[in-house]
Amino acid sequence: MRRPKDWDDMKTRFFDRLIDRGTLVIHYPDTNTQIIGQGKPTAHIHLRERKVLARLLSDPEMVFGEAYMDGDWWPGEGGLLAVFELYFANASNFGSSRILDLARHALRGLREANSRLRSRRNVKHHYDIDHELFARFLDRDMQYSCAYFESAEMDLEAAQQSKCRHIARKLCLQPGDRVLDIGCGWGGLALYLARHYDVDVTGLTLSDDQYEYARERAANEGLSERVRFFKQDYREHQRDHGEGYDAIVSVGMFEHVGRPQFQVFFDQVQRLLKPRGRSLIHTIGRNGPPIEDTHGWIEKYIFPGGYVPSLSELAPCVEKTGMSLADLEVWRLHYARTLDCWNERFQQHRDVFRERLGERFCRMWEFYLLGCQAIFRWGELVVFHIQLAQRNDVVPVTRNYLYPERVEAPRLIQDAEFDQTG
């Protein structure tokens, strides 16, 4: 069936309604260009074929990322991040059309009722891809969560250690304490706590690769007697000999729990804590209200079964446990810089990854890293630090205990500096 003669005009009018701030430049394969909007920010998109544009408009939320993976379009000047910046500059216009809703709906999914079997499958989908991939783009300690940039001069390695130190202090650890790490990853935090705070740590993961690597590393560092790892679902974990834990930490795992299991998770934390126990939940969060379920690109290709919570969804779950909300800290922009560091390292080894995993995978991965960086930089995602305690008198009443070594406060990173690093 032939398209109407005014097909190009229809597409132009469609984009005109979406872009009222900034400029989108579309480069066609016949060297013609189409300029939509004016001013900054500016993004350039090159199309392999004219019909690609029709494909993008057919199901933009899913197809935009898939077409990039297929090489049907690529960014021009300013790169992929500029495309996401233009999207967020006009995000209110995209809401009703759902185009490019990748980042806004990041990490949520239709399949949030994560059974034990489904949770294992979801973990395998992402964390057991290729050990070399993670080893190359993460820091030496293989921390796959938001770093904590205390000063403008910090690099990724220092910022990840800063994150571990900050979390350890929030757990109010004492030598000999028993600590549970739910979602321990490759074991970096668990080993850090044992090494620097003389505590006994149990780490839980569902990833085969993380489990084997963490155990091997603990043995190599002579910490096997104080740090043990289990390939186990958090819902299956029981107290040893009827004893609870002095502290429970979970970093970057709660995003995979799924809304139907929120209460189950917090109930389990409360159940496993000793009467004077403390907990720190580090999770991506939403600075806004809860969202509706919609199948998105990231849910399909990166993190199946996940969901990023708003604060209003977490508070009722904490209240029902009877635990005390001791402190709540919100990290803004730290994850944007973390993702920028990850992407920089990924690009340094892109040729290696292309040989191992293919060009389509590389496009998928950079779309993921830059799309998520964009929503932490210009969108609604932040990181919540939820500090909990069984009793109201366990955690110090001021935050001074978090910064004991500070004689003079370091120069803090300003928003503009985050932008410059991006």
DSSP letters of 45-72?
EEESSTHHHHHHHHSHHHHHHHHHHTTS
* Within-domain flag for 190: yes
Lowest mean pLDDT among 28-32, 89-93, 161-165, 332-336: 89-93
**Where is pLDDT greater, at 91 or 128?**
91
pLDDT at residue number 4:
44
Same domain, 346 and 229: yes
> What's the confidence (pLDDT) of residue 233?
94
The reply to whether 374 and 242 lie within a common domain is: yes
CATH number at residue 25: 3.30.1050
pLDDT given at position 416: 52
Domain enclosing residue 198, as ranges:
116-421
Provide mean pLDDT across the span 252-262: 92
For residue 371, pLDDT beyond 50: yes
Structural domain includes residue 110: no
Domain with 366 in it: what CATH number? 3.40.50.150
pLDDT above 70 covers a percentage of the chain that reads: 82
309 and 400 together in one domain: yes
Residues labelled catalytic: 372
- pLDDT band of residue 35 (cuts 50, 70, 90) is very high
In this model, does residue 359 exceed pLDDT 50? yes
**pLDDT higher than threshold 50 for residue 2:** no
CA distance 353 to 347: 9
Burial of 195 (0-12, 13-18, 19+ CB in 10 A): middle
- Asked if residue 258 is part of any domain, the answer here is yes
* Greater model confidence, 61 or 298: 298
pLDDT of residue 173: 97
Helix orientation angle between 262-272 and 311-321, rounded to the nearest 10 degrees: 40
Does 190 or 18 have the greater pLDDT score? 190
* % of the chain exceeding 90 in pLDDT: 66
pLDDT score recorded for residue 292 = 67
6 vs 345, more confident: 345
Structure tokens given for 414: 């300003």
∠ Cα 203 204 207 (to 5°): 125
C-alpha span between 64 and 287 (Å, rounded)? 25
Contact predicate 291/109, CB 8 Å: no
- Give SS3 for 379: coil
User: Which residues touch 318 (CB under 8 Å, ≥6 apart)?
Assistant: 266, 325, 386, 388
Q: Which of 195, 190, 186, 187 is nearest to 222 (CA)?
A: 195
Span 27-41, average pLDDT: 91
Give the mean model confidence (pLDDT) for residues 339-356: 96
Does residue 101 lie within any of the structural domains? no
For the record, the structure tokens of 318 come out as: 């904490």
User: Both 173 and 230 in a single domain?
Assistant: yes
Same domain, 76 and 193: no
- Non-local (6+) Cβ contacts of 167 within 8 A are 189, 249, 251, 280, 282
Q: How many domains does the chain have?
A: 2
**Mean pLDDT over residues 242-246, rounded?**
89
Let me know if residue 107 belongs to a domain: no
Q: Contact, 79 vs 348, CB < 8 A?
A: no
Q: Are residues 357 and 409 in the same domain?
A: yes
pLDDT the model gives residue 14: 63
pLDDT at 324: 96
Q: Are residues 55 and 184 in the same domain?
A: no
| Cα separations in angstroms, 402 against 54, 71, 157 | 54, 48, 20
**Residue 367 scores a pLDDT above 50:** yes
Whether the pLDDT of residue 121 is over 80: the answer is no
Task: Decide if 373 is inside a domain.
Answer: yes
pLDDT computed for residue 31 by the predictor: 86
User: Is 208 a residue whose pLDDT tops 80?
Assistant: yes
One domain for residues 416 and 270: yes
Cis link prior to 41 (omega < 30° from 0)?
A: yes
Q: What is the mean pLDDT of residues 375-391?
A: 96
pTM as predicted: 0.87
75 with 122, same domain: the answer is no
Contacts of 384 (CB under 8 A, 6+ apart): 281, 282, 283, 284, 285, 311, 314, 328, 329, 330, 331
Specify the higher pLDDT residue, 103 or 47: 47
Give the model's pLDDT for residue 337.
97
Looking at the structure, do residues 85 and 175 belong to the same domain, yes or no?
no
10 Å CB burial of residue 5 (0-12, 13-18, 19+) is exposed
Q: Is residue 2 part of a domain?
A: no
Amino acid in position 267 = D
In the predicted model, is pLDDT for residue 171 greater than 80?
yes
**How far, rounded to the nearest angstrom, does the alpha carbon of residue 402 sit from its chain's CA centroid?**
24
Residue 279 pairs in a beta bridge with 248, 388
Q: How confident is the model at residue 110 (pLDDT cuts 50, 70, 90)?
A: very low
pLDDT of amino acid 111: 42
Compute the distance between CA of residue 376 and CA of residue 338 in angstroms, rounded to an integer: 10
Taking residues 284-298, what's their average pLDDT? 79
Cα(210)–Cα(216) distance, integer angstroms: 10
Q: What is the pLDDT of residue 64?
A: 87
- Could you say which of 94, 127, 156 is where a domain stops? 94
* Mean pLDDT over each residue of the chain, to the nearest integer: 85
Kindly state the average pLDDT of the residues 33-61: 87
- Given a cut of 70, is residue 361 above it in pLDDT? yes
Confidence of residue 244 (pLDDT cuts 50, 70, 90): very high
**Are both 79 and 157 inside the same structural domain?**
no
43 and 85 inside one domain: yes
Q: What is the dihedral of CA 229, 234, 237, 239, to 10 degrees?
A: 90
Q: Is 17 a member of any domain? A: yes
